[in-house]
Structure 1
Amino acid sequence: MAVEELQSIIKRCQILEEHDFKEEDFGLFQLAGQRCIEDGHVDQLLQIVQDEKNKTVIKSMGWNLVGPIVRCLLRNGEEDERKDCFLVFDLLVKLCNPKELLLGLLELIEEPSGKQISQTILLLLQPLQTVIQKLPNKVYSVGLALSTLWSQLSLLPVPCSKEQIQTDDYGLCQCCKALTEFMRPFVEEATDNKENKENEKLKDELLKFCCKCLKCPLLTAQFLEQSEEGGDDPFWIFAYEIIEFLSQIGHPVPQIILNHGRKKRTWGCLELEEEEDRQLADSVASLTYLVFVQGIGVDQLPMVLSPLHLLQLNMEHIEVLLQSLPSASVKGVHLSELLENSLLRLEDNSLLHRYLEIKSFLAVPQGLVKVMTLCPIETLRKKGLALLQLYIDKLDLQGKHTLFRCLLNTSNHSGVEGFVIQNIKNQIDASFKKTSNKWFRGPQLIALLDLVLSLPEGAETDLLQNSDRIMASLNLLRYLVIKDNENENQDKSIDVECTDRSASTCKSVCSVTVGGEEIPAMPPEMQLKVLHSALFTFDLIESVLARVEELIEIRTKSTSEENVGIK
């Protein structure tokens, strides 16, 4: 019945000119064709589409059948029916109005969700490429198609393990491979050595898409362990192709990375708005990771660049990656690998203090502190700690001194402060073995100790919450009292006041709380466990404090006896 109805509509329209077709005819044609497909008469529909006499009608109206045909293909029906559907689809792509087909195909790409996104894209990419190549204005068509494709691809979860990449449940890896084949002819057309405005505009559309791909999926993609050639890693291959496309359209790796520091950025004919500029920062950060860690395109960079210059280039991008943590674990891995790769090129103590005047050089260690304290992923917290230590090791002595002061003033975290104070102790210990170190001896050290040997809120300080800092401070003080030879001390103005952390004061003005709040409702055994833990911490503090007071008393008594003997 549906077949006869479709034939009747076509027969009626055959005697009309194309411009005389009515809107009603289009609607009836679509309904009848859709029923043919739903009723399983695709073979007869194929004969109708193949009939040369129906060519004009199919050219004007056939694009209405693309949606039903594609949905039939996605249902994975019987093999014969699928074969006929493919033949009908190919004929429609060949015969129909390309402008109408373009819009119809893009609507079909926008429809699905979940796993059907990749299935639809993989099915429609080749026909979409064919249709666009028929259109006279490729710039608009390519831009619209790439924007639609990326919007859908960005909804797919990015595989974050070897197993997920191999199974590729959502088809993202397959789509990445297909996308490069889709782009290739347009890249070749844009770079055909003809200098004209259309080619330049086409390059700009391709540039926008490449930058989007650098951000998603490549900024959060997991790369596999493999050879220099990239092996079978779909993301490595996709990244390689994107970087090659960038080079072909006039934006090679050196130009992007070395020129990125300019405040006002223009790419091709694009004047970037603030939001686009921020997104570009993510893209360039991703590119920097791909170049310096994955080694893609690194051979394009000048060999004369020093490790220090490379670090300076990368710090801005590392700061960008830090700003998005702790939300994305894979991005955190990229960050750590890029920072570690950049720092390991330097000798210890070779990063001059003046570099801390550059915003990113101070923002990165502060960002690492946030990773250490806020990131929900334990491996990244530990990695953040290791990277901060590596960064400290690379700074010169004045740089270390400056960074320690900064972190003590800004971290607001007892564990981090304890870590910094331990580093200060290590530097003081090293200063006893070196004669040229002025930053951790004498007046410069006293300025640092003023920060270390003070309670954050004075007598009201929560001892339990600040126990890491307090224990580190007391251990440092104990070390100083034991290590410092007063007979050789050239500065007699050091006067360490310990009364504000003295045991008697703590007992009189401090009360035991947990994080400044009453212990919440919990079983008595758990309450007892929490209190025992707190009391144990207090015992440790008091034990170290007692030892410090004992050492100070011995030192004071010894000094008094020496003074009496002198008299």
Structure 2
Amino acid sequence: CLPQRRNDSVHFCRTLPENGFKSEDYDVFTVSGRTCIEEGDSLQLLSIVLDEKNQDIVRCMGWNLLPPLVQVLLKKESKDLPHCLAIFNYVLEVCRPKELLIGLLEQLEHDEPDTIAESLHLLLNPLQKVLLCLGVRKASSLGMALSSVLDQLCKLPVPMTKEQEEDDVFSLCRCCSEISSFIRPFVDEARPSGAHKDELRTELLKFCMQALSRVLLQVQLRDQETLPESPLRDFACSILLDLCAIGESLPALVHQPLLRHRPIPGFLEEEVCYPKESLACVAHLLFVHHLQADVFPSVYSPVYRLRANMEHICLLLSRTEESRIQKGLELYEKSLVRVEDCSLSVDLLEIKSFLSVPQNLVKVMTICPHHNLRTKGLKVFQLSIDKFNLEAKYTFFQLMLKTSNHSGVEGYVIKNIKNQIDSALKANGSNPWFAGLHLLPLLRSVLTLPDGPETDLLENMDRLMEALNLLRYLVIRDKVTENQTGIWTELYKIEDTFLKPLRVGVNMSRAHYERELHLTREDKKSKAKDPSVSVSVGDEQLPNMTKDTHIQALHSALHTFDMMESVLVRIEELIEVKDTRPPQN
């Protein structure tokens, strides 16, 4: 026998009036139907639902049965699965589309990745059928559905390795493929012109843009040689093709930063229609992965492409997420490699993005927690230097020395300056920017102590060592009688503003650290049972350091001062040997 509650539910369903049922009948029908499903009597419920006498109430109320039906279908274990599937399909066939849409979207809301993937797999096709039944007024409903679907897709973990994508361990690949199939009929419908078509294109454009920034910017796509079959790569291709199908031009999207203030029909702000991160993703897919590259004209020069991409690169490098930084570096590298060496003019440095990108690149090289990105950043930084012509290099070096605020970066710039001077000396006067009068202002920026003798030598070690090495190179390489670099004319100023204060600073720092070393050793002897020392940086207390580690750090600092002094002594010796200088101006 059935339990009494189930018998009551079945009895109610069978005795509902054919016409004129009351509003409270909705609740009773819902409870009764759900009870049948939950307590394993779906076969009897199926017979009631299919009964011709009950068609009116099923048409009006059947969508309320979706929650328990979907639960059974997701579990896939119930003996009632075939009956529930039949009820589910019948409800989809006879109920009103708008109510079905609401019911189906409610069943998409989950938080667990496995349930999310299974729900999308189960419900996308029914959702598509329901939306297609809405006729020409479906645009807003499609937009609501696409937003819900994308919200769920974004909860799925992204595969980080080739193996994870191949195995589709998080089902993201399957879901992306199914979503591509889901939107295809709507894209096809949006192709012809017409008022309602514009509304449909608007919703599809919003979805594509959100898919680019919220999904594809997180994903590391792999080329065909690495992964011949890649659903994620196919999804990216599908999004780009859909954009083209609804009337968007990929070149115009990439060049959007250069084509601002064009009217956007139906939108108040350009950023609402074309989010910057989405456009940056389009540029990355086109120029790094070469997806749909055949639709991109080849008439644009490499410099024009670089200019168009600089704002995309700037945006990506300004973010903190690893995926965005990596894509920014890749896009910058690909944009630069097509540009001829020594061809970028100094005029480009008047464009804001050509200054912002190096500044963001410095942050990547210095504070990014990922070693591979810091290394890649340095490689791209050098590549960008190589593309500037001589005047642009000169101006760029000046700007970086003023703005980088990092000793390691400044040291790297000084090393580049030394290489340019070496090339200029070999060129016998054909390079005026790194020899003669032009060079002196740059040398003054290099050979300086920001705080005089009180400059923190350890914090500025990289910059100071490269500056000393440059000065040593100059006094060795440039003969006093030729004075091609102007160093011998400027040397008396350099001695007063750089060499002498630096020697005082080295002596002061060495004395301070030798005293600190002596006190630490004495303290270690007297407090053998507590072999740790507290260290603070500013107001922040760092974890205790052992006495031995502290002593080792002090020895390392003293070694640094010895290195500086040895180069200083060598420079002084070289100056004495070449002490015959031209008259001072």
Q: What do residues 445-474 of structure 1 show as CA deviations (whole Å, max 9, x unaligned)?
A: 111111111112222211111111111111
Instruction: Give the letter for the 2:430 counterpart.
Output: S
Q: Which residue of 2 aligns with 1:220?
A: 218
Rounded to whole Å, the distance in 1 between the matches of 2:53 and 2:146 is 36
CA, structure 1 residues 338+115, in 2 after alignment: closer, same or farther (shift >3 Å)? same
**Contact 1:2–1:36 (CA<8 Å) still a contact in 2?**
no
> 1:200 Cα shift?
0.7
Q: Which residue of 2 aligns with 1:110?
A: 109
**Contact 2:18–2:56 (CA<8 Å) still a contact in 1?**
no
Q: Which residue of 2 aligns with 1:446?
A: 440
Moved more, 129-138 or 378-387: 129-138
Q: Which residue of 2 aligns with 1:126?
A: 125
Instruction: Give the letter for the 2:241 counterpart.
Output: E
Rounded to whole Å, the distance in 2 between the matches of 1:392 and 1:159 is 35
Q: Which residue of 2 aligns with 1:199?
A: 197
Q: Map 1:104-503 onto structure 2 (within 5 A).
A: 104-136=103-135, 137-191=137-191, 193=192, 195-226=193-224, 231-264=228-261, 266-272=263-269, 274=271, 276=272, 280-324=275-319, 327-434=320-427, 435-489=429-483, 491=486, 493-495=489-491, 496-497=494-495, 498-503=498-503
Instruction: Give the letter for the 2:545 counterpart.
Output: M
> 1:436 Cα shift?
1.4
**Contact 2:10–2:44 (CA<8 Å) still a contact in 1?**
no
Unaligned runs of 5+ in 1: none
**Contact 1:253–1:297 (CA<8 Å) still a contact in 2?**
no
TM-score between the two structures when normalised by the length of structure 2: 0.89
Helix, strand or coil at the partner of 1:109: coil
Q: Which residue of 2 aligns with 1:39?
A: 39
Q: Which residue of 1 aligns with 2:522?
A: none
**Pick from 530, 534, 546: which aligns with 2:553?**
530
Helix, strand or coil at the partner of 1:446: helix
Is 1:10 aligned to 2:13, yes or no? yes
> 1:267 Cα shift?
4.3
Instruction: Give the letter for the 2:35 counterpart.
Output: R
Rounded to whole Å, the distance in 2 between the matches of 1:212 and 1:266 is 21
Would you say how many aligned residue pairs link Structure 1 and Structure 2? 549
**Contact 1:475–1:544 (CA<8 Å) still a contact in 2?**
yes
Q: Which residue of 1 aligns with 2:531?
A: none
Instruction: Give the letter for the 1:223 counterpart.
Output: L
Helix, strand or coil at the partner of 1:330: helix
Q: What do residues 199-247 of structure 1 show as CA deviations (whole Å, max 9, x unaligned)?
A: 111011000101111112111211123159x841111101111111111
Rounded to whole Å, the distance in 1 between the matches of 2:452 and 2:83 is 83
CA, structure 1 residues 52+334, in 2 after alignment: closer, same or farther (shift >3 Å)? same
Instruction: Give the letter for the 1:458 counterpart.
Output: G
Moved more, 241-250 or 146-155: 146-155
CA, structure 1 residues 412+86, in 2 after alignment: closer, same or farther (shift >3 Å)? same
Q: Which residue of 2 aligns with 1:21?
A: 22
Rounded to whole Å, the distance in 1 between the matches of 2:76 and 2:304 is 56
> 1:260 Cα shift?
4.3
TM-score between the two structures when normalised by the length of structure 1: 0.92
**Contact 1:36–1:45 (CA<8 Å) still a contact in 2?**
yes
Rounded to whole Å, the distance in 2 between the matches of 1:538 and 1:365 is 31
Q: What do residues 175-214 of structure 1 show as CA deviations (whole Å, max 9, x unaligned)?
A: 11011111011111111x3x32111110110001011111
Q: What do residues 303-329 of structure 1 show as CA deviations (whole Å, max 9, x unaligned)?
A: 2211111111211211111121xx322
**Contact 1:30–1:64 (CA<8 Å) still a contact in 2?**
yes
> 1:433 Cα shift?
1.0
Moved more, 429-438 or 35-44: 35-44
Instruction: Give the letter for the 1:217 counterpart.
Output: V
> 1:273 Cα shift?
5.9
> 1:134 Cα shift?
1.6
Rounded to whole Å, the distance in 1 between the matches of 2:571 and 2:542 is 32
Helix, strand or coil at the partner of 2:553: helix
Q: What do residues 497-554 of structure 1 show as CA deviations (whole Å, max 9, x unaligned)?
A: 2444443453247744999669863111111111121111111111111111221222
Instruction: Give the letter for the 1:286 counterpart.
Output: C
Rounded to whole Å, the distance in 2 between the matches of 1:190 and 1:3 is 48
> 1:36 Cα shift?
1.4
> 1:12 Cα shift?
4.1
> 1:13 Cα shift?
3.1
> 1:51 Cα shift?
1.9
CA, structure 1 residues 33+259, in 2 after alignment: closer, same or farther (shift >3 Å)? same
**Contact 2:313–2:331 (CA<8 Å) still a contact in 1?**
yes
Rounded to whole Å, the distance in 1 between the matches of 2:542 and 2:182 is 62
Moved more, 179-188 or 155-164: 155-164
Rounded to whole Å, the distance in 2 between the matches of 1:530 and 1:378 is 24
Helix, strand or coil at the partner of 1:303: coil
Rounded to whole Å, the distance in 1 between the matches of 2:306 and 2:380 is 14
Helix, strand or coil at the partner of 2:348: helix
> 1:82 Cα shift?
2.2
Q: What do residues 326-369 of structure 1 show as CA deviations (whole Å, max 9, x unaligned)?
A: x3223333222221111111221111111111111121111111
Instruction: Give the letter for the 2:412 counterpart.
Output: F
Q: Which residue of 2 aligns with 1:544?
A: 567
CA, structure 1 residues 411+502, in 2 after alignment: closer, same or farther (shift >3 Å)? closer
CA, structure 1 residues 520+209, in 2 after alignment: closer, same or farther (shift >3 Å)? closer
**Contact 1:122–1:175 (CA<8 Å) still a contact in 2?**
yes
> 1:37 Cα shift?
1.6
Instruction: Give the letter for the 1:389 counterpart.
Output: Q
Instruction: Give the letter for the 1:63 counterpart.
Output: W
Instruction: Give the letter for the 2:109 counterpart.
Output: E
Sequence identity, in percent?
43
> 1:265 Cα shift?
5.0
Rounded to whole Å, the distance in 1 between the matches of 2:124 and 2:154 is 16
Q: Which residue of 2 aligns with 1:71?
A: 71
Rounded to whole Å, the distance in 2 between the matches of 1:553 and 1:516 is 42
CA, structure 1 residues 520+255, in 2 after alignment: closer, same or farther (shift >3 Å)? closer
**Contact 2:101–2:130 (CA<8 Å) still a contact in 1?**
yes
Q: What do residues 362-415 of structure 1 show as CA deviations (whole Å, max 9, x unaligned)?
A: 211111111001110000000000000000011001111111111111111111
Rounded to whole Å, the distance in 2 between the matches of 1:520 and 1:98 is 64
Unaligned runs of 5+ in 2: 517-534
